Amino acid sequence: MARPVDRGGISLVVGLGNPGSEYEGSRHNVGFAVADRVAAGLAGREELPAMGARLVRGRLRGRSVLLLWPLLYMNRSGGPTVEVLRRFDLAPERVLAISDDLDLELGRIRVRRGGSSGGHKGVADLVERLGTEAFHRLRLGIGRPPSGCPVERYVLEPFCEEERPLADSMVGTAADAARCWLLEGVQSCMNRYNAPSIGEGGADGSPGGAAAKGATPPEGTPSDRGTAERGASDPE
């Protein structure tokens, strides 16, 4: 394993999703699921007060970590995130936002330095509220809905029975990627987890992405991507 990069202080991982038991386990809430996995492995874990969000602080191999679950629905994720950045004096480059992605097949993940929201309303709200696209991204593939199924319904449904093993494996791989980002930085994370399959793009953020169980880990809601283009809105 590469030696951890000195990140120079605390970093923030933001899992995107929708609050409420009716959305638990939905495709749109994979960001929450990854944040849960990362939180479970932190030392000295403590819950901190936060407006419109759950906020956890802990340490990963001696490094200070914040985990945030915005709880104001997907398309209002930016407000709680901005408050945490101000509170801890964090630059956007110290943020990793984790979300679902319709344009990646189920089981694949992709890490990026920044870029546009790609139609994902949670990411779009982060861009708007932070005033920059410079925060880092970890996207989990959920695939496109079958013919005749509206996107806004598809993303709010749970994975079907035959999808669950692969979805669970993907969440575990994404949690490993988030830990790699925290310990080694975004470039190492992209190199490790954006390894392409045959015929796909490269590790620099071009099309591609690691398949679940396909990358080596470091040692030790409503709205959807696409509904912004279709006029659908989140439940309020």
Q: So which residues are the catalytic ones?
A: 28
Which region, left, alpha or beta, applies to residue 50 given φ > 0 means left and ψ of -120 to 50 means alpha? beta
Q: DSSP readout, 39-82? A: HHT-EEEEEE--TTEEEEEEEETTEEEEEEEE-S-GGG-HHHHH
Residue 18 in 3-state DSSP? coil
H or E segment and range at residue 109: strand 108-112
Task: Record the tokens describing residue 151, joined without a space.
Answer: 């996107």
